[in-house]
Structure 1
Amino acid sequence: MVLRFIGIDPETGGGNCPAVWLDDARKELVLQGWRADDEMLAHTQRDSPLPDNEAVIRLPYRMIDIIRKAIDDAEAIDRPQLR
């Protein structure tokens, strides 16, 4: 498996922080974030039940540019005619 690192929370003090990668082979975004607490899980499950193989994570707004870069990079690979 080859993951392409896109970025980490810009306010990180080191490791163990929210981060974003691309898995070009699977055509997936890979996100590391903070686990949602029980109250947040209850709210999200009203809209979309959570199966055992999924998780709800939280990412700070300050990572929007990193997430946007991951999306732009993924679109450039998956749909090169757009670039």
Structure 2
Amino acid sequence: MALRFVGIDPGSSDGESPTVWVDDENNELVFQGWKPSPELEAECAAMEIPGHGTGIPEGEAVIRIPARMVAMIREACDALERPHLA
């Protein structure tokens, strides 16, 4: 797997680094973010949405990404939609 780095949260202090990558091989976005509080995770797990089961399935996680990273998330989405130029 070859990840393509898109960006890191410019507002993070040293040692904290919400980050966005593109996985071209699997056509996926990859995020590193903060773990949610137990209360937020429980709220996400309990939410009932049509077509979406409650709970957080094994192998999935809830993460938090700051809103100031929206532009780099858009950039990552655009990168997945266009061919990667070597």
State TM-score, norm by structure 2: 0.81
Q: How many residues align?
A: 78
Task: Show the counterpart of 1:62.
Answer: 68
Structure with the higher fraction of residues in helix conformation = 1
| Percent identity of paired positions between Structure 1 and Structure 2 | 47
Query: Offset at 1:42?
Result: 1.0
Unmatched segments (≥5 aa) in structure 1: 78-83
Structure with the higher fraction of residues in strand conformation = 1
Task: Show the counterpart of 1:49.
Answer: 55
Which stretch of the first structure deviates more once superposed, 30-39 or 42-51?
A: 42-51
**Which residue of the other structure, out of 56, 61, 80, is the alignment partner of 1:74?**
80
State TM-score, norm by structure 1: 0.84
Deviations 1:1-60 (A, max 9, x none): 200000000123445410000000011100000001110011111234201211100000
Task: Show the counterpart of 2:12.
Answer: 12
